[in-house]
Structures are given as structure tokens and as C-alpha cells.
A and B are shown apart, each in its own frame.
Chain A
Amino acid sequence: MNTIQIKAHVGGTSTNDEGCTLKYLLFPYFRDNVPVMVSFKGTTPMSSSFFNSSFGELIDEFGYDTFKSVVLPRDITASHLNLIKMYIKMHQQNETA
């Protein structure tokens, strides 16, 4: 299984532009429904802008179930994982509102 190291490919986890870069890196895996490990090693906790432009847009296009099965997080702290889960929940609430 492939691994994408966010720090190696994306400048940071702060801005919409950085989120777009991650989105385009992950897109082929979503398109082909192929799981990929995503390593958060060396990254700082992501902003909501980064989430919206990366995971958020992929969830919008492919659905949350596909997101869960394709993106396998690695090298992540409990607090960062919980932050992303909170973003996902807020994103889903926004979609149904």
C-alpha cells in the first residue's frame, strides 16, 4: 500500500492552497477506490481552511464512506485526529443544514 507523507509533498497544513495540493495528491486514490496511508509525521494540526480544501472537498465528491475506506491516517496524535474528526462532523452538519 502506498503512503503519502503530507510534509514531503505539501508546504504546510494551514491554508486553502495547501489543502488543494493534498486533494490533488489523493484524488487518484479516491477515483480508483484504492486505500492509501496518509502520514501526518512532522505536520502541525491542520486548520479548517486546509481541511475544507482537502478532505472536505473529497468527502463532497466521493462521500464519507469512501473517505473512511481510502484514507488511513498514520503518525498522528490523538488530539490532531480528534480535531479532524470534529471538522468532519461540522462539515457533515453543514451539508445537511
Chain B
Amino acid sequence: MDIIINRLGDYSHLFDLCHIEYIDDEQLDIHLNLSFINPHDVLLLAQLSIFIKKKHLHIKRINIHGSVITIDYLKDIGLISFLRANYQQPRTISFINKRTAMPIRRVEQSSLEEYVYETLKYIGNICRGKELTMLSVGIKESINNVYDHAESEIGAYVFCQYYPKLNVIRVCVSDYGQGIPTVVRRKYPDFSDGECLRWALTEHNTTKSLPSNAGMGLSIIRNFSKTTSGELTIWTGNCCYLCRSGGQERIIKNISGFKGTLIELDIHVDSLNDEEDISDTF
């Protein structure tokens, strides 16, 4: 079976494969007619492929095709290996210096600290002297949300890319769980998907999936994006939340058939303060 992707975000056919009951093919070939690929595209391809293989067990191979530049990039960041049958994630995390990226990882809560530590170490070496608190917070809050709320069968995936020419760190976390609107509608059944997402982004709002939840995580990431020149995008349910430079927020329609939640945070390094140790009290 062939799936052709002609533009960024054109993944509805892949989502369709996650919903249909049976596919009569042992091989899936994904053709990327793209000249550029974002971290969120990488994670979507990774988790969609993993879910499709999990659901349709007789699919033995998923191949990705594209330009030499695109395939070289996807090989270097680990996506091609990720899709191999019986892939086992390496125990240690090694950065990809050639691409100024951290590799795609499936992250459990037990390995979250290690991933964040290695990412801060690697990015910290590139962005010397800059305080990277929000990089840590962005990854931790997003991953914790997956395990607290999402009920994702395939866990959480993370990918982090630094763009030297833009001086931007782009970090992306995704899951294939129930999505924010489904969780919020247990509390507010009449909310639309957009209303659910706006509610979830508001400080102190929490569905209390766990007693310890206090509704801080998403609002912290959102406030950071609004008050700096950072950018935040959240795909979930039928809608997509955008926060762009200057704190401009809007909600638009999502990719048809989208499942799960995907968060992508841009951190503009130039807007970060220099790191310094301090002696103070609370």
C-alpha cells in the first residue's frame, strides 16, 4: 500500500489507516514529497507508523521514501531505525551532533529525568551560558501530562531539534491517547473541542485525572510562549492551538482524523536570560 504526502500536515490518510479495521497488505510505503520536515512531522510519522504496525500485525514493513536530503535527515535522527521490525531503543541516549538534535525517544516517566538531563547538557553546550529552564519544563510538563491524562497505548514520544541559523530550539512531545477534549468533556460534556482546549490551557483548570494534578503544566508553557517571542502549537481532537510571536493566540481546524495530542514548543535562544547561580531564599 502506498501513501503519498504532498504537503506538510497532509497525514489524514495515515490517520485513516489507524481507524480502519483491516489492511490487506504486508508492506506500507510512505512517499514524502516534501522539501522540509518539522519535528512534529517526524513524531507524527513515528507514532502513526508504530500504531499502524501495532494495530495491523501482518504489516511487516513500513518504508519511507523521499528525496536524498529528506531520507538522510530521517536516517540521522533515527526515524528510519525506529520503524524497523523488532526495533529496540538504545539504552543510552546519544545526541546527533551532525543534525544538532536529540534523537527520537519513547520516554517513560522513569526515564524522563535522564532524557531531560542529556538534552539540557547537549543543548547547553551549544547555547552556552543560557538558562534553559523552559526547555526542561516544556518536556517534563508535556510528558507528565501524557502519563497522567492521555491513556496512550504507545506511550509518549519526544524529539528535540536546534536550528543554528534561527537560533531556535524546537521541542516536540506527542502521544496517541484520548486527546484533551475527550478528557475535559468528562467534566464539561457540552464543551466543543476548542472550548476544551482553551479550558485546559487556563491556569488551575484540571480534570484531576490524578489527585495530585493542579492544572499548572500547560498554562506555564502557554504563559512562557506569550511573554517571550516563543511559539507554541498544540494539536488535539478536532482543533489546533497556535500561539505566535507577540502572544497572538488562535484555534484552527486540526488534521482530519487526528488522534492523541502533539505539543511543539519553539524557544528563541536570543530571548533567554544568561544563567547565573544565586543565593536567596524562597
Contact = CB atoms under 8 A, between A and B. Distances in A.
Interface in B87-138: 109, 112-114, 116-117, 120, 131, 133, 136-137
Contacts of A84: 282
B280 A14 contact: no
Interface string A1-42: 000000000011111111000000000000000000000000
Given A44-B117, A94-B214, A14 B204 contact: no
B278 to A, nearest CB: 4
Interface stretch (B43-51, B167-175, B269-277): B269-277
Given A13-B113, A94-B204, A73 B282 contact: yes
Contact of A79 (B131, B204, B281): B131
B76 interface: no
Contact of B137 (A47, A81, A97): A47
Interface in A52-97: 52-53, 56, 67-68, 71-88, 90-91, 93-94, 97
Interface in B176-226: 203-204, 210, 212-217, 220
Given A13-B113, A14-B113, A48 B133 contact: no
A45 B217 CA distance: 13
A80 B280 CA distance: 12
18 contacts: A12-B114, A14-B143, A44-B140, A45-B137, A48-B216, A48-B217, A52-B214, A56-B214, A76-B277, A77-B277, A79-B131, A79-B133, A79-B275, A83-B133, A86-B220, A87-B216, A90-B203, A91-B214
Interface residues of B, number: 35
Contacts of A79: 131, 133, 273, 275
A14 B110 CA distance: 9
B51 to A, nearest CB: 25
Nearest to A47: B140
Range for the number of chain A residues in contact with chain B: 35 or more
Given A13-B113, A14-B109, A47 B217 contact: yes
Given A44-B140, A48-B217, A86-B220, 4 more contacts: A15-B144, A74-B279, A76-B278, A78-B276
A44 B282 contact: no
